[in-house]
Amino acid sequence: MHWAKKWHPECFTCTHCRKPFGNSEFYLEDSFPYCEKDWNDLFTTKCVSCGYPIAAGDRWVEALNQNYHSNCFRCTVCHNNLEGQSFFAKGGRPYCKAHAR
Ligand SMILES: [Zn+2]
Ligand SMILES: [Zn+2]
Ligand SMILES: [Zn+2]
């Protein structure tokens, strides 16, 4: 197999945390291998509200230089969804019109 040319099995470890993969899955990024957890942490876009990755098919909103799932982009006070609404930013968090003051 291709990897045997580059790595001994015991040296075939995650580029980031250095744990061996064993039988678990890994991901390649720039031809470096990463475990699933680190790959998610390092290379996926995450929603700042819920902390989960934003998948390719997910609807999301970019606001305040951060990324949110559409469902997670809510007023900090009343949690009304703000997607497509006018909102106000205070301290890097979104607020609806009523709670902006
Ligand atoms: Zn890792
Ligand atoms: Zn989210
Ligand atoms: Zn509100």
Task: Examine the pLDDT at 83 and tell me if it is beyond 60.
Answer: yes
DSSP run (H or E) holding 88: strand 88-90
CA trace torsion 20, 15, 47, 88 (10° rounding): 150
Ligand nearest to the CA of 60: 2
H/E stretch holding 38: helix 36-43
pLDDT of 44 above 80 = yes
C-alpha to C-alpha distance for 58 and 21, rounded to whole angstroms: 29
Mean pLDDT over residues 78-92, rounded?
95
User: What's the 36 CA to ligand 2 centre distance in angstroms?
Assistant: 19
Would you state the pLDDT for residue 71? Answer: 97
SS3 state of residue 25: coil
Domains defined for the chain, CATH in brackets: 2-43 (2.10.110.10), 60-99 (2.10.110.10)
From ligand 1's centre to the CA of 66, what distance in Å? Answer: 25
Residue 67: pLDDT over 60 = yes
Per-residue pLDDT, averaged over 20-47, amounts to: 91
Structure tokens of 9? 């099995």
From residue 8, how far is each of 1, 31, 50, 87 by CA, in Å? 12, 16, 39, 54
Please give the pLDDT value at position 12.
Answer: 85
What's the CA-to-centroid distance between 100 and ligand 3, angstroms? 8
